[in-house]
Amino acid sequence: MRPTLSRRGFLRLSVFALTALAGSGAILSRPDMGGGEDSLSQEGGWKFLGPADRELISAFAPALLFPCWPREPAAAAGELARLLRGVDTAVGYLPRRSQEELRQLLGLLARPSGRLLLCAGRWAGRRPRLDDGSAAAILTAWRDAAWGVLQAAYAGLHDLIMAVWYGDPGHWAELGYSGPPSLPRGSLDTRGGLGG
């Protein structure tokens, strides 16, 4: 059946191989640097996501989260800022292999050649902005692709963005979920937050 061929033939091709195809080998040489070049800038403190990465996530998040992504620009900007910080933190807990693959994917998508390869005609050449309709079309194509690399691109963005959005207590009320119960904790420290 189909999966045998696709598993052996295609799925083993990782995003690394794609990177070579798209001629963006420069990214490979600095897998750990990420997009952290702006970490010293005024809105620094980013551990993984660089400016181009953040733009890419901004392009796909509204389509993934439609129809709950806010239409009002100020509200959308606030949600986006929280989402990006959440993704940046979450990526830091992924294993090295996953971080590298995400880095490759974002690196590819930042380049016209990579976009041509991954998004076909849906994200033309040098157009930096992606409207929500095109983003949804690209996500649909990746989701339904027979090619494991595209499926992985979809799964990676889907899981990260959904996890950050629905892990946020601010998004629970609209689900009718009131959050965990409160417990009589006595003198125990219940301030929350991840310790070292």
Partner 1 sequence: MNEIHGDPGQDPIGAGFDGPWRARHRAGPDIHASESVEADVVVVGTGAGGGVAAERLSRAGLSVIWLEEGPLRTSRDFHMLEREAYPDLYQEAAGRRSRDGGVGILQGRAVGGSTLVNWTTSFRTPSETLAHWREEHGLSHLTDAYLAPWFAAMEAWLNIAPWAAAPNRHNQLLADGAVAQGLHPRVIARNVRGCWNLGYCGMGCPTNAKQSMLVAALPRVMAQGGQLYSRVRAEHLLRQGDRVTGVAAHPLDDRGRVRREISLKFQARHVVVAAGAIGSPALLLRSGAPDPHGCLGRRTFLHPVVLSVARFPDPVAAHQGAPQSIYVDDFLWPGDGSVGYKLEVPPIHPLIASVVMGDFGAAHRQFMEAFEYQQVVIALARDGFQPGAPGGQVQLDHHGDPVLDYPLTPALGETFRRAWQTMGELQLAAGARSVSPVHLDARPVTTAHALRRMVADLPWQGGRARVVSAHVMGGCALSPEPRRGVTDSRGRHHQWQNLSILDGSLFPTSIGANPQLSVYGLCAALADGLARELGG
* Binding residues among 93-122 for partner 1 as defined by CB under 8 A: 93-98
The yes or no reply on residue 85 touching partner 1 (CB under 8 A) is: no
Among the candidate windows 20-28, 75-83, 113-121, 181-189, which touches partner 1 by CB under 8 A?
Answer: 181-189
Q: Tell me: does residue 125 bind partner 1 (CB under 8 A).
A: no
Q: How far apart are CB 9 and partner 1 at their closest, in Å?
A: 12
The pattern of x and - marking residues 151 through 180 that bind partner 1 according to CB under 8 A reads xx--x--xx--xxxxxxxx-xx-xxxx--x
Using CA atoms, how far apart are residues 123 and 135, in angstroms rounded to an integer? 8
68: tokens are 């709950």
- Binder among 63, 83, 106, 138 for partner 1 (CB under 8 A): 63
What is the C-alpha to C-alpha distance for residues 64 and 162, in angstroms, rounded to an integer?
8
Report if residue 183 touches partner 1, rule: CB under 8 A: yes
The least CB distance from residue 153 to partner 1, in Å, is: 11
5-12 contact pairs (CB < 8 A, 24+): 6/146, 6/148, 7/148, 10/146, 10/147, 10/148, 10/149, 11/148
Q: Which residue has the tokens 């079309």?
A: 137
The per-type count for the chain, helices as H runs and strands as E runs, is: 9, 0
| Residue 188 is a binding residue for partner 1 (CB under 8 A) | yes
Q: Are 43 and 49 in contact (CB under 8 A)?
A: no
The DSSP call for residue 117 is H
- Count of beta carbons in the 10 Å neighbourhood of residue 37: 13
Write down the least CB distance from residue 53 to partner 1, Å. Answer: 18
Tokens of 89: 């933190």
Residue 17 is a binding residue for partner 1 (CB under 8 A): no
Q: Which of 92, 121 has the CB closer to partner 1?
A: 92
Query: For binding to partner 1 (CB under 8 A), which residues are involved?
Result: 1-3, 7, 11, 63-68, 86, 90, 92-98, 136, 139, 143-144, 148, 151-152, 155, 158-159, 162-169, 171-172, 174-177, 180-181, 183-190, 192-196
